[in-house]
A and B are shown apart, each in its own frame.
Chain A
Amino acid sequence: MSGRGSHALTPYVAVVRARFGVLLQYRAAAIAGFVTQCWWGGIKVMVLTAFFAASAGAPMTLPQAIDYVWLGQALFTMLPWSGDPDVARMVRTGDVAYERLRPLDTYAFWYSRAVARRTANPALRALPMLLTAGVLLRVVGWSAYALRAPAGVAASLLFVASIALVIALSAAVSALIDALTVATLSDRGVTVLVSPLVIVLSGSLVPLPLFPDWLQPILRNQPFAGLMDTPFRIYTGNLAAGGAVFALARQAIWVVVLVLLGRVVMARVMSRLQTQGG
């Protein structure tokens, strides 16, 4: 209550920090995930190589596509393809009402937890993946399939900015999933609906530039492109500086839209929760 030396964001930063610390403990899962992602990455690279060999005039070069794949494997756990398992558990047990006992804005509280989740897992898995794809593949002589450095200094900086927006966007989608989980009293329905959308529309399954031309305007402007496609195309140089800044703005707009949407859903859900009882 005293507020002495206490910033407005202190509680939320504390939630992110604590949650991040807990998630870092799941090292065995990270190793298993890493092995799976290496495997899938290898398959995707081989498929793309065959695809590029058989076609001409692709919208991106093969090396760009390979970088895109490896980055996708490294940052796979940044994708918001499911809600917070803790929220799902609280919905089942009725503990969700007790989240309201904390002197926190419940949306910001859950958003903070989502930020921790979408950064802790990649923090564990990204580095080994990047080392494997960027260094190990070269060492063993498969340089053609290896991850290359960013397209340039500008691309590097824009890539970092874009990744920051990925975290914000991914947390917004996660928090929205959480709110919908409370609304529907189960995480199953929402996850079944959202996870294929996220995996396909982010570019995680197939790089978005490889989809047909007539789909491109739609793919570029939908929110999930900002989860992977945008930063990866910046990294590989597939998006030039001007287009990159524009793409960052698009990411930011989607963050705002999804946060507002999440807040509206959360407010409605919480008022209904109040009339039905915990």
Chain B
Amino acid sequence: MSQIIVEELTKTFRVAERRGGLFGFLRRRWREVHALQRVSFALREGELLGLIGPNGAGKSTTIKILCGILEPTSGRCEVGGLVPWRERIRHVARIGAVFGQRTQLWWDLPVADSFALLRDVYRVAPDDYRRALDELIALLDLERLLSTPVRQLSLGQRMRCEIAASMLHRPRVLFLDEPTIGLDAVAKLAVRDFVRTLNRDRGVTVILTTHDMHDVEALAERVMVIGKGQILADGTLASLRHDVLRERRLRVQFAEEIGDFEIPGTVIRHRSGLSVELSFDPRQTPAHALIADIAARYDVEDVHVDEPPIDEVVARFYARHELEAR
């Protein structure tokens, strides 16, 4: 059975438009913003969903509704059998949430004090708390951070603490809204490792929004693309790639100067000195045949076959839907 059910979820904001002039305030007009339009999806327990989309696409609105912070205009939504906004207090006790741009830790207090407060707020029994905390300390390497006031932490350190804070009451569902924003490479890897452990080893259901496609690549088996309040794609990253950009890239390093160069079924993307990058469609020109062909004709030092970077795939996907919408 699905743990998260979303059906025909619609959210329309009314935004006041002020008009200029002396009596502008008398003629207040309302503009409707369709943040979500009939969004439907379901998530099984233990799934990890990567939610991507350009800014203003409706990712955060979706997360906020699922967290019980926002009430939708229409549609149905259940998380673990509870309607988030209607049974808010019971619902939020069972979920964890991290918003990359916000903090839930008390700025002036040592991290441990914030944790202790959350323990009481979530009514976690002392033994359960001790166990959860020990585990989080080990997984996120928090030992030395606990006695530090939050304001003295680096962003990466703080984010590790934020994520730990959201897991002290052992929720079965975790919402992560841009958890890696602004983090350096090491901190990003730490966050990804932790989320992977939670999801794969502990079976925690995770919904993650991000602009960093490497997060999605590293973590999400299932990716949903939201744009203009609608779901534009829902599947694996591989299927998204397959839909959008099937080409592969071949980088060839030649051993000697080559003159005019053309291989049927390929397009030259870059050329500099002895190095050439080609793109080709693997359905028409299999990679092994292509490499054999080039090696037969030229003196080749090295070859490297790759898929286009995921950022490029996603950018193309966004661009395509921009055009279709017009």
Please report A residues at the B interface, Cβ cutoff 8 Å.
1-6, 10-11, 13-15, 18, 21-22, 25, 95, 97-98, 100-105, 271, 274-278
User: Taking the complex as formed, is B288 at the interface, i.e. its CB lies under 8 A from any CB of chain A?
Assistant: no
Count of B interface residues, CB-CB < 8 Å? 36
Complex Cα–Cα for A236 and B272 (A): 93
Interchain CA distance A274-B113 in the complex, whole Å = 30
The yes or no answer to B302 lying at the interface (CB within 8 A) is no
- Interface of A: prevailing SS: helix
The segment from B86-94, B137-145, B240-248, B317-325 found at the interface with A is B86-94
Q: Does B85 contact A (CB under 8 A)?
A: yes
CB-CB under 8 A for A18 and B117, given A95-B102, A277-B61:
yes
Contact partners of A97 in chain B: CB under 8 A: 64, 69-70
Question: B residues 85-116 with Cβ under 8 Å of A?
Answer: 85, 88-90, 92-94, 97, 99, 102, 104, 106, 108-109, 113, 116
0/1 string, B138-168, CB within 8 A of A gives 1: 0000000000000000000000000000000
**Chain A residues whose CB sits within 8 angstroms of the CB of B311 once the complex forms:** none
* Contact indicator A101/B108 (Cβ below 8 Å): no
Task: Give the complex CA separation of A125 and B218 in angstroms.
Answer: 55
- Asked if B221 is at the interface of the complex by the 8 Å CB criterion, the answer is no
- Is A18 within 8 A of B123, CB to CB? no
- Residues in chain B within 8 A of chain A (CB atoms): 13-14, 35, 61, 64, 67-71, 85, 88-90, 92-94, 97, 99, 102, 104, 106, 108-109, 113, 116-117, 120-126, 128, 169
Residues A276 and B90 in contact in the complex (CB < 8 Å), given A98-B102, A102-B121: no
Tell me the bound Cα distance from A105 to B90 in angstroms. 11
- Report the Cα distance A98→B175, complex, angstroms: 13
- Tell me the bound Cα distance from A274 to B65 in angstroms: 9
Compute how far the CA of A278 lies from the CA of B85 in the bound complex, rounded to whole angstroms. 14
Distance in Å from the Cβ of B80 to the closest Cβ of chain A? 12
Q: Could you show 21 A-B contacts with beta carbons less than 8 Å apart?
A: A1-B93, A1-B94, A1-B169, A10-B120, A11-B120, A14-B120, A14-B121, A15-B117, A97-B69, A98-B99, A101-B92, A101-B97, A101-B104, A103-B89, A271-B71, A274-B71, A275-B14, A277-B35, A277-B61, A277-B64, A278-B64
Inter-chain CA distance A187–B51, complex, in Å, is 36
Which residues from B are CB-within-8-Å of A5?
Answer: 125-126
Q: Give Cα distance in the complex from A103 to B89, angstroms.
A: 4
How far is B69's CA from A10's CA once the two chains are assembled, in angstroms? 23
Which listed residue (A6, A22, A100, A277) contacts B123, Cβ 8 A? A6
Complex CA–CA separation, A18 to B116 (angstroms): 9
Name the contact of A101 in the complex, choosing from B67, B120, B126 (C-beta under 8 A).
B67
Q: A21-B109, A105-B89 are in contact. List 11 more A-B contacts (CB 8 A).
A: A1-B93, A1-B169, A6-B125, A14-B116, A14-B121, A15-B120, A100-B92, A101-B68, A271-B71, A276-B14, A277-B70
Query: For residue A278, which residues in chain B have a CB less than 8 angstroms away from its CB?
Result: 64, 69-70
Inter-chain contact A10/B123, CB cutoff 8 Å: yes
Pick the contact of B13: A2, A6, A15, A276 (CB < 8 A).
Answer: A276
Out of A13, A98, A103, A105, name the residue touching B104 (CB < 8 Å). Answer: A98
In the complex the two chains form, is A18's CB within 8 Å of B106's CB? yes
Per the bound structure, the CA–CA distance linking A70 and B205 in Å amounts to 60
**Across the interface, do B102 and A11 meet the contact criterion of CB distance under 8 Å?**
no
Q: Which residues of chain B have C-beta atoms less than 8 A from A103's C-beta?
A: 89-90, 92-93, 121-123
* Chain B, Cβ-Cβ closest to A276: B13
CA distance A271 to B126 in the complex (A): 35
Which 7 pairs show the lowest CB-CB distances between chains A and B?
Answer: A14-B120, A103-B93, A6-B123, A274-B71, A4-B125, A11-B121, A18-B117
A276 to B120, CA, bound (A): 31
Please pick, from B92, B116, B125, B126, the residue contacting A102 in the complex, using a CB distance under 8 A.
B92
Distance between Cα atoms of A172 and B99 in the complex (Å): 31
Query: Given the complex, which residues of B lie within 8 Å of A4, measured CB to CB?
Result: 125
A21 and B109 CA atoms in complex are apart in Å by 9
